[in-house]
Structure 1
């Protein structure tokens, strides 16, 4: 008996979740049931459900807030706007936008982060370092940066980060070439992430701002040859 490829299972899960939202009469701003309830309703395992949720979040069809739940976004017009915007900017422009926003988020996180937010940030950093390949690393790197935005405790700043991040995902990163299967053990982002997390945990807003700016400048230099 042949097993279905994982990618096929994921695509089926995405379709089932999208149909559940459409058929359930959910509107923009409505909160979806908790994961446990969705697992029962869809007959789906937790891992597969989370992959489907992550895919719809990347599309802009839903958005999630830690401690509050998963909500339906104004997906059609919003997703179209994200797609259109992504066609008009380059990866370099995206990095400059990140340099404008994310150091300020790190500063706010250092001022406002709860103990729970600091723990989530530390876990995201550790998972990025343990990633088995570049795809897994990029997912965990994304989670780390979102954890910084979450740690601000400011829903508007988190929403701004999510919008920026959705455009970032849609931009064509054709200039990025990976020469190894996974990030090397001395990958500079590991130490840079540690500096950011440590500054936030130490409640040092100036150091957190500088650490995030240095990190994004380093990423920009590696990818595009400029800080």
Structure 2
């Protein structure tokens, strides 16, 4: 991997150039933040904003405790223990697990959400509504749910969400057939996500819990025919 890179002035483009010229391939873990800040000559705060921009674009994905990985712009195919666990679960069982865990995470988010996480929720919602393809929508949908978990301000809950999300991908991977090229303007998840974000912004734990529960029950019915 080359130690010499050209340095664009924009931090996001600088990070993109580093990834491109560094020869990183899909699924490879990027160096830790302390290495990247030294290599790219930027502060940790600036780096994290750049990483956030690439994550929103689906270029990278992050896993608590494991690091930042290069994506191809689509959801990552699961592997290892998560894939094996996913193969043993039916979609119904997967949704029951989500219903048991994610509403509680949303409740904690309503108590602890920072201004930054609320802004990022709104950004994910806006990008999801503007998505031209289902893949673009799913990237933003995934990011919205993860930002809710981040907003809980609880590393254990965030790590639990990441594990749950990895198994979800294993269950649903390749099994969902879309009838259109992109979400319709009245796609039900738009209003459901808005209700979750609104409850979190209002610091209403009970409403956030119920909004997430309503959303997940709707997803279960729509995708799997189960409540």
Q: Give the superposition deviation at 1:80.
A: 2.0
Q: Taking structure 2 as the reference length, what is the TM-score of the superposition?
A: 0.71
Q: Give the superposition deviation at 1:128.
A: 1.0
Aligned length: 189
Structure 1 stretches lacking a partner, 5+ long: 1-8, 22-29, 40-45, 58-62
SS of the residue 2:67 aligns to: strand
Distance 2:88 2:140 in 1: 27
SS of the residue 2:25 aligns to: helix
Q: Which residue of 1 aligns with 2:190?
A: 190
Give the number of the structure whose residues are more often helix, by fraction.
1
Cα RMSD of the aligned pairs, angstroms, is 3.3
Residue in structure 1 matching 2:28, options 7, 13, 18: 18
Structure 2 stretches lacking a partner, 5+ long: 1-18, 42-52, 70-77
- Change in CA separation of 1:89 and 1:152 when aligned onto 2, cut-off 3 Å: same
Pairs within 5 Å for 1:1-227: 14-15=24-25, 18=28, 33-34=35-36, 37=39, 53-54=60-61, 57=62, 63-64=63-64, 71=67, 79-173=79-173, 175-227=175-227
CA contact (8 A) 1:13 1:52 kept: no
Q: Taking structure 1 as the reference length, what is the TM-score of the superposition?
A: 0.71
**CA deviations over 1:162-218 (Å, ceiling 9, x no partner):** 011111112244552211110000001000000000000000000000000000000
